[in-house]
Amino acid sequence: MLRVLQRLPRKLALPSPHHNIRCASTTFEYLDIEDTGNEYSIVRMHRKPVNSFNLDFIKEMIEAVDCCEKTSRGMVLTSSLKVFSAGLDIQELYNPSEDRLQEFWNGFQELNLRLHSSPLVTVAVINGPAPAGGCALSLQCDYRIMAEGKSIIGLNETHLGLTAPLWLCKVFAQVVGHRLAELHLSLGTLLPPEEALSIGLIDAVVPADQLMDSADAEMKKWLAIPELGRSRTKGLLRKEYIDEFVSKREEDAQMFTGAVKDPMLQDVLTKYLQALQKRSR
């Protein structure tokens, strides 16, 4: 009986109303989308120098998710720079207007929510360092593949005197468990690939030149599962997280904007930006 089960077509013949829709009409400044022709798309981020997220980039990312949902069943998220993403653009946090800061954080919440709740199969290909917000986006995906070698991933918000938001702490804890979440979030640990793999923060480590082949193989495995059961299962397992995220969204924004406007943090950012300027001279 089991053998019969395995011989059955694993993919339900689903109506695919979107095969003629293209994302080509949309022009992106900070990313590009490649339709692989294998039912999934590749989103490559390229906001120089380190894919840090300012408001415009976040808006493009949300649009990219929208676009993939209309044209594909899966999305690979990666970077065409040497860094996967360094996280939030510090410029957005430095002496911002109240409105801008609100809109910025609202956008980042939205992007994370959209990724977490997307019916797409989402695979993060972490080709380079992924601290803070870079790690965050990868945590919202279904599967994480990281390049071998000198790189890091983790939530190091505490190093700047900041706190990762509750919804980010929670997805981190879902992935590595509560004990290690407390440990690594407190210490702001940035883990090399092998260590990240050993605690489940990522799902696979491969040589850099095999990243996209690995992602392709993994994506095919996921896309071979009947769409209906897979996407509903994802929805069912993530519903509570999403509901709590949404219900605490306002509270979270207040906590974030309050922390950013704290003079002590602004002081840290001033020194940080000065150090960056000296270094780039």
Point out the residues that are catalytic: 88, 133, 156-157
Smallest gap from residue 60 Cβ to a copy of itself (A): 21
Burial of 241-268, coded b for 16+ CB within 10 Å and e otherwise, reads: beeebeeebeebbeebbebbeeeebeee
Binding residue for a copy of itself (CB under 8 A) from 158, 195, 204, 212?
A: 158
Question: Segment contacting a copy of itself (CB under 8 A): 27-35, 61-69, 102-110, 179-187?
Answer: 179-187
- Quick one: which of 106, 174, 257, 266 contacts a copy of itself (CB under 8 A)? 174
CB of 218 to a copy of itself, least distance (A): 10
Q: How many CB atoms lie within 10 A of CB 1?
A: 4
- Helix, strand, or coil (residue 87): strand
154 sits in the region (left: phi over 0; alpha: psi -120 to 50; else beta) called: left
Considering the complex, state which of residue 59 and residue 238 has its C-beta at the smaller distance from a copy of itself.
Answer: 238
Angle (CA) 111 62 172, round 5°: 25
124 Cβ contact partners less than 8 Å away, ≥ 6 residues apart: 76, 77, 78, 84, 137, 138, 141, 143, 144, 145
How far apart are CB 244 and a copy of itself at their closest, in Å?
Answer: 10
With binding defined as CB under 8 A, does residue 208 bind a copy of itself?
A: no
With contacts defined by CB under 8 A, name the span among 17-25, 54-62, 63-71, 171-179 that binds a copy of itself. Answer: 171-179
- 98-137 mask for a copy of itself (x: CB under 8 A)? -------------------------------x-x------
98 contacts: CB under 8 Å, gap ≥ 6 = 257
Strand extents, DSSP E, the chain: 31-35, 40-45, 52-53, 74-79, 87-88, 121-126, 130-131, 143-147, 153-154, 204-206
For 193, the token pair is: 């690939």
Residue 61 near residue 79, CB atoms below 8 Å: no
Q: Verify binding: residue 75, a copy of itself, rule CB under 8 A.
A: no
Q: Which is nearer to a copy of itself, 103 or 160 (CB)?
A: 160
Complex with a copy of itself: residue 166 or 242, whichever CB lies closer: 166
Single-letter residue type at 100: R
Return the number of the residue (24 or 237) whose C-beta is nearest a copy of itself: 237
Enumerate the β-bridge partners of residue 131: 154
Check binding of 217 to a copy of itself (CB under 8 A): no
Rounded CA separation 57/87 (Å): 11
Among 19, 161, 198, 254, binds a copy of itself (CB under 8 A): 161
Binding site for a copy of itself (CB under 8 A): 1-2, 4-5, 7-8, 10, 12, 49-50, 83, 86, 129, 131, 142-143, 152, 156-164, 166, 169, 173-183, 185-188, 200, 203, 221-222, 225-226, 228-230, 232-234, 236-238, 259, 262, 264-265, 268, 271-272, 275-276, 279
